[in-house]
Structure 1
Amino acid sequence: MPNPLDILKKYWNHTSFRPLQEEIIESVLQNNDTFALLPTGGGKSICFQVPALVKEGICIVVSPLIALMKDQIKNLNAKGIKAIALTGGIPENEIIELLDNCQYGNYKFLYLSPERLQNDWIIERIKQLKINLIAIDEAHCISQWGHDFRPAYTKLATLKKMMPKVPFIALTASATPQVQQDIVTQLELNTPKIYKKSFQRDNLAYLVYSVEDKYYFLQKILHKHPNPSIVYVTNRKACVEFCNMLNKSGISATYYHGGLNSKEKEQNMTNWLQEKNTVMVATNAFGMGIDKPNVKTVIHLHLPSNLESYYQEAGRAGRNEEKAYAVLLYNKSDIIQSKTQFIDVLPNKEYLKTVFIKLCNFFQIAYGEGIDESFSFNLQQFCIKYNLPILKTYNAIQFLDRQGVLNFNQKYAQKVLVQFTVPSKEIIRYTSIYPNEEEIVLGIVRNYSGIYENKIALNTLLIAKKANSTEEQVVKVLKNMQQRALIELDLFDNDAIITFLEIREDDSTVNRLAKILKSQNELKIQQFESVLSYITNNTACKNKLLMAYFGETVQEDCKICSYCLQKNQKQPNFTVIETKILELLFQKDLSSREMQEILKISKDNLIFALQNLLEQEKIVLQTSNTYTVNK
């Protein structure tokens, strides 16, 4: 049997394990059920990948994140390790072929979404494999108290009963004590060995500031620390706007959000990783699998929806163990806006049913049909058509995705409108001249009988499946036909692919999910209130507050967070500050920001001194927002 450290050296080129990794790996190799809580940057994947490579057989990895599965498979394949994934939207014949590869092709890893394990025939095929380990990634999803609960995860206990001799390892980066206990209970782990790495990050300063002009402070921070940084915002528009503003001010930035196509995402990511751009402005779509050690600063310009997500995103700073900063900038309007964004847009049972029915109608899915059908989808167009609010509708669709009713893959796609403009005999002649395109062309003709009379929206994914081809190839064929004046073609941008994973059963589907929806909404409200408590509490160390949320008691203040820095500051001499302000204003009129820049004092101290001078009528605030001496 190979040595774990030899495996680490061979495939990862590391000479030692990170804290707790070796102990966790040894536990798995001793066939123990194992629970591993490794906060962000702890190297969770190594904990199941190394022992799986040590042992004979194949490791089943259950993960809800398609992008993360693809990322890990790409990395494993690049190391010469054979790994594949069964995600949503793969036809049954392809799944059979992939499972045959697993059985006879010396594969070491089979990645699955939890929903795939709801298919009995897939379970039967998996039972025929020589399984050496079952890894449950993002295990907090199995807990109803977790921040991304997915009912399909609760079926994993069945897998445990079927394979009692196969060790299980459950891994998560963010779980409160309640969630940790629930994971062990729900998975029915057998006297598991439990390993928890502390959430404490001694080198990371948590800085929370209430500011009016976020962009001004953002610039100040990035000029002060011109190292690789991440700036998190909550929407695509802000992503682009802040990126453009930074570039105009001489700070090299790029951006990343779910609306970019895969080529743009990869290019922008590479530019940041190679430090062609110092700053990455991103939504929460950015971060999975990212391990850039020298990120100096992570700045949140909008409030996060929960502290689990905030901790993970903030924790991408300082993984090289050097001093780093997690900065959160907010103002009073953010609290109101965030409540509108996170709480007021939570769908109730009635709204969920409305969205589901309209989705089915939008794609012309009949009652009792629709399973495994995929469609290109533009959320904005859908909401305009049915006069629905975008965020609330998005949340409803996301909920249906998490519950395994459908798969909402937010990738850049195209809507295709086509009309054939020549008689059918010309189309047949075309396929005889270009036989490589025949299957695609005939697939279109067979499935869209009215395509000679009207422009029809094509489901390019469906055509690709039927022609045993790819969506890109379908579009290429259509462009070829357009160039030869055989068709009229319109291409429109879409931002997602929706695959229905169940047949359409309106009331039955929604009623089954109603209780889960209610408890999830209540949980999200509690989590958001925890965020508000964290940012507005000015009487405790920020590190202590975060650690307490995750169930850790810290005795000493961190001495580097915004609260500790403020507490340890010497009380200013306001008489001296007021004198300096008057000296400046005798020379020329100035704004408060200009005075702050010159005097190098905190905003709060400056405002206090200005208020004193205004009350004494020594200075006057002008309509231009500058101060002048009262003469």
Structure 2
Amino acid sequence: MIKAEEILKKYWGFDEFRTPQKEIINAVLSGSDSFGLMPTGGGKSICFQVPALMKDGIGLVISPLIALMKDQVENLSKRDIKALALTGGISSDETITLLDNCLFGNYKFLYLSPERLEQDWVLEKIKNLPLNLIAIDEAHCVSQWGHDFRPSYLKINRLKEFFPNVPFLAVTASATQRVKKDIIEQLKLEKPAVFQKSFARENIAYMVIETEDKLHKIEQILKKNPESSIIYVRNRKSCFDVSNQLQQLGFKATFYHGGLAMKEKAKNMDSWMNEKVQVMVATNAFGMGIDKANVKTIIHIQLPENIENYYQEAGRAGRNGEKSYAALLVGPSDVIAARGQFIAGLPDKEFLKIVYIKLCNYFQIAYGEGINEQFPFNLNHFCSHYNFPIIKTYSGLQFLDRQGIISFTQEYSEKINLQFIIESKEVIRYISLNPSEEEIILAFLRTYPGIYEYQTAVNLSLVARKSNNSEEQVEQVLNRLKEKGIVDYIAKNNDAMITFNEVREDERTINRVSKYLEKQNDLKKEQIEDVFQYVSNHEICKSRFILEYFGEKNTTNCGICSYCISKKEKNNNSNQLSQLILNKISEKPYSSRELEKIMDCKEQELIFALQELLDEEKIIILPNNKYTKA
């Protein structure tokens, strides 16, 4: 068998593994179930990709994140490793074709969402695949105590029945002790080898900075640290606004969010990755699969909704091992605003039911119908139409997505409605004169049989795949056909896609998942309270707070966070004040009130310094309550 290091060198160009990658790989190769808790940037994907490449057969990777699946498949393809992903919006026929390709096409990886395993016919197809490994990515989703729990993850353990000798590997970047225990139990891992890397990032200085003028503070931070930076903001509008403000201040900045067109995303990402701009202003849609080693500073302008997310986002700094900063800027009203956003914005069962029913009505889905139907979606328009609060509605749609009732994909999309407006014989004549366009035109005609009769919603990426062309080439052909009066097509921009994963059953659907809603709401309240503690607790090192949150014991102060620095400054100030007191009372005795006026310091600081000097027996109190040197 080829060695793990040879695979690593051949495909990734590295000579050695990071701890505990090699140990996890060895456990998988020995056939053992394994659990890997590795902080962000620790290289989790290599832990399942390398052993799957070393063995005959296919590695099955279960992941809840479409963007992450696409990113990993793309990265594997760049390395000439055959991989495919079953994402939402793919028809049953195409899914069957892809799974057949997986069996007979020499593929090494199959990525799919946990919801796919709930489809019996998909499971039947997977049962026939020669799997060598089953990897569960983002495994915290298995636990009801995890920050992104999905009930569909609970059914992954069904694969144990069909693949009793195939090792399971569960990996996550953030899990408390309670979540870790729950993952192992829910997945039915058998005597798993557990690998847990410390959450400590010794080179990251966690800074909580209280400020009334956040833009001015950002300007100070970026001037002091002119290297690559990420600024995380809450919404898409803030992305543009903050990026624009920074440009006006003379910084090179760009922005990124889920609503950008793919070309603009790629352009902005390229500018930042290749050092053409210093600052990327982004929502939390940015970061999946990003491996930029020299990020010096991460700045959060608003409070995160939980410590897990904050740790992952802050952890994108300093992957080169050099000192870096994770600054959380806190304004006077931020805690009140966060309560309003995260707690008041939690949907209850009644609101969730109304949103679901109105969503079905919005797309004219009849009771008992709708499964696998997909629609472009604009959240603002939907909320405006029904007078719904945006944050609460967004939370409700996210919950329905996690339950697998819908797939709520927050990606920019172009809905294209297409119709051929000349007779079929004229289209055939055009094809004979333009043979280079034949495959694309025939792909449209074969995929959408009603395309002569009426405007038909078409999927460009599907046509591109079927005709072995790029989406750009398909668009070029469409534009030429439109110019020549052969087709009529309309493109509409949307900021999301909604796919209905089951038939509409209104109350029955919501009643089934409402038990999870209450538990998740309680968990979210707990988590935001922990965030409030993180920013308001002035009695503990910020790094220790995070480590203890994740269950690590015997921690020590980091020495570089905002708490540790303030403590050093206090000690320095205290030492200076003590020396000034000693110098003054060597001339003559003074009372504390007299010293307070002379030293021009706060009463508490003076009392603390006098107490220390008394404890050290450097001064004494005279009968007249004045201090003098001992």
Q: TM range, normalised to the smaller chain? A: 0.7 to 0.9
Q: Which secondary structure does the structure 2 equivalent of 1:212 belong to?
A: coil
Aligned counterparts of 1:239 and 1:460: Cα–Cα separation in 2:
31
Q: 2:282 is aligned with what amino acid?
A: A
* Secondary structure in structure 2 of the residue aligned to 1:571: helix
Contact kept, 8 Å, 2:416 with 2:459, in 1: the verdict is no
Percent of paired sites with the same residue: 54
Asked if the contact 1:347–1:392 (Cα under 8 Å) also holds between the matched residues in 2, the reply is yes
Contact kept? 1:243, 1:255, Cα under 8 Å: yes
Match of 1:595 in 2: none
Q: Which residue identity is paired with 2:402?
A: R
2:11 alignment partner in structure 1: 11
> d(CA) in 1 for partners of 2:188 and 2:318?
36
Question: What secondary structure does 2:111 align onto?
Answer: strand
SS at match of 1:231: strand
User: Shift in Å at residue 347 of structure 1?
Assistant: 1.2
Compared CA separation, residues 179 and 442, structure 1 to 2 (3 A): closer
Say yes or no: does 1:571 pair with 2:534. no
Output the CA distance in 2 between the equivalents of 1:70 and 1:462. Answer: 17
Partner of 1:582: none
| 1:61 corresponds to 2:69 | no
Q: CA deviation at 1:24?
A: 0.7
Q: Residues 488, 49 of structure 1: CA spacing in aligned structure 2 closer, same or farther, 3 A cutoff?
A: closer
Asked if structure 2 preserves the Cα contact closer than 8 Å seen for 1:440 and 1:474, the reply is: no
* Map of 1:82 onto structure 2: 82
Once the two structures are superposed, what CA deviation does each residue of 1:342-379 show, in whole Å capped at 9, x if it has no partner? Answer: 12111111111111111111111111111111111111
Distance in 2 (alpha carbons) for counterparts of 1:310 and 1:377? 29
Aligned ranges for residues 12-161 of structure 1 at < 5 Å? 12-161=12-161
CA contact (8 A) 2:133 2:166 kept: yes
1:459 aligns with 2:461: no
After TM superposition, the structure 1 stretch with the greater mean CA deviation from structure 2, 411-420 or 269-278, is 411-420
1:151 & 1:552 partners in 2: Cα distance?
Answer: 28
Would you say 1:303 and 2:303 are equivalent positions?
Answer: yes
**Corresponding residue for 2:262?**
262
> 2: distance between equivalents of 1:462 and 1:14?
37
For residues 332 and 258 of structure 1, the distance between their equivalents in structure 2, rounded to whole angstroms, comes to 29
One-letter code aligned to 1:187: L
Change (3 A) 1:81 1:185: same
Question: 1:338 maps to what in 2?
Answer: 338
Partners in 1 of 2:443 and 2:318 — Cα distance? 53
AA at the equivalent of 2:126: I
**Cα distance in 2 between the residues matched to 1:462 and 1:47:** 34
Task: Tell me the distance in 2 between the aligned counterparts of 1:267 and 1:89.
Answer: 26
- Residue of structure 2 in register with 1:519 after alignment: 519
- Per the alignment, in what secondary structure is the counterpart of residue 18 of structure 2? coil
Q: Distance in 2 between matches of 1:514 and 1:111?
A: 29
SS at 1:254 equivalent: strand
Shift of 1:490: 5.4
Q: Could you tell me whether the CA contact under 8 Å between 2:41 and 2:319 is conserved in 1? A: yes
**How many residues align structurally?**
568
My pick for the range that moved more, 83-92 or 188-197, is 83-92
Correspondence for 2:366: 366
Post-superposition shift, 1:555?
A: 3.8
**Which 5+ residue runs of structure 2 have no aligned equivalent?**
432-437, 578-599, 604-630
- Structure 1 position 394, deviation (Å): 1.4
How far residue 481 of structure 1 moved from its aligned partner, in angstroms, is 6.5
Read off the aligned partner of 1:193 and give its amino acid letter. Answer: A
Matches within 5 A, 1:548-563: 548-563=548-563
SS at match of 2:529: helix
Contact 1:243 1:281 in 2 (8 A): yes
Partner in structure 2 of residue 166 of structure 1: 166
Task: Indicate the residue corresponding to 1:628 in structure 2.
Answer: none
In 1, the alpha carbon distance for the partners of 2:464 and 2:320 equals 49
Q: Are the structure 2 counterparts of residues 170 and 561 from structure 1 closer, same or farther at C-alpha, using a change threshold of 3 Å?
A: same
Q: Secondary structure at the match of 1:124?
A: helix
Give the conservation status (yes or no) of the 8 Å contact 1:440–1:467. Answer: no
Deviation at 1:162, TM superposition (A): 2.1
Cα distance, 1:401 vs. partner?
1.1
Cα separation, 2, equivalents of 1:334 and 1:488: 51
Superposed, which structure 2 residues align to 1:265-304 within 5 Å?
A: 265-304=265-304
Q: Mark the CA change 1:35 to 1:464 in structure 2 (over 3 Å): closer, same or farther.
A: closer
**Distance of 1:128 and 1:439 partners within structure 2:** 30
Distance in 1 (alpha carbons) for counterparts of 2:115 and 2:95: 14
Given that residues 226 and 278 in structure 1 are in contact (C-alpha distance below 8 angstroms), is that contact kept between their aligned partners in structure 2? yes
- 1:459 counterpart letter in structure 2: A
Give the unaligned 5+ runs of structure 1: 575-605, 610-631
The verdict on how the C-alpha distance between 1:481 and 1:98 changes in structure 2, with shifts beyond 3 A counting, is: closer
Counterparts in 2 of 1:28 and 1:367: CA distance versus 1, 3 Å: same
Deviation at residue 447 of structure 1 after TM alignment: 7.6
Determine if contact 2:445/2:451 at 8 Å carries over to the other structure: no
Letter in 1 for 2:226: P
Aligned to 2:170, what secondary structure does the other structure show? strand
Check conservation: 2:548, 2:555, Cα contact below 8 A: no
Question: In 2, distance between residues paired with 1:398 and 1:26?
Answer: 37
1:357 corresponds to? 357
- Contact between 1:534 and 1:545, CA under 8 Å: does it hold in 2? yes
Question: Do residues 494 (structure 1) and 494 (structure 2) align?
Answer: yes
